[in-house]
């Protein structure tokens, strides 16, 4: 009985830590939640007038599925804080001695004027 309980607790912990990997760290203003968010990869691609209301850093990986989860997480957080768009500004690589390389994405959260 104890062994099966330990296995269940271990699996649950692993699932929760995997979910939090793509959880963004947000710093900025908050507005009423929005439903639609536009994605950009350069500030010059934004054709309407806007202001930056906040910044996010989000951990990501190299795989396409990891990057998709990161993108979805950024969009969901932007909706939550009332942003109208995200600009995926840069990718940073940090080399750790104990793990593989860590990548983070810098995201600017924007609100259209």
Q: Give the tens place of pLDDT for each residue, 18-77.
A: 444 558 999 999 999 999 999 999 999 999 999 999 999 998 887 888 889 999 999 999
Confidence band for 15, pLDDT divided at 50, 70 and 90? very low
Global confidence as pTM: 0.75
pLDDT at residue 18 in the model = 45
User: What is the 3-state composition of the chain as percent helix, strand, coil, each rounded to the nearest 5?
Assistant: 35, 35, 30
pLDDT at residue 17 in the model = 42
């Amino acid at each position: 009985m104890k062994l099966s309980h330990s296995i269940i607790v271990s699996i649950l912990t692993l699932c929760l830590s995997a979910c939090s990997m793509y959880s963004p760290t947000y710093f900025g203003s908050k507005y009423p939640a929005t439903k639609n968010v536009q994605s950009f990869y350069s500030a010059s691609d934004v054709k309407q007038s806007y202001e930056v209301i906040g910044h996010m850093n989000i951990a990501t990986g190299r795989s396409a599925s990891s990057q998709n989860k990161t993108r979805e997480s950024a969009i969901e957080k932007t909706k939550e804080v009332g942003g109208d768009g995200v600009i995926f500004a840069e990718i940073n690589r940090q080399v750790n001695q104990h793990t593989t390389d860590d990548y983070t994405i810098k995201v600017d959260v924007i609100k259209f004027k």
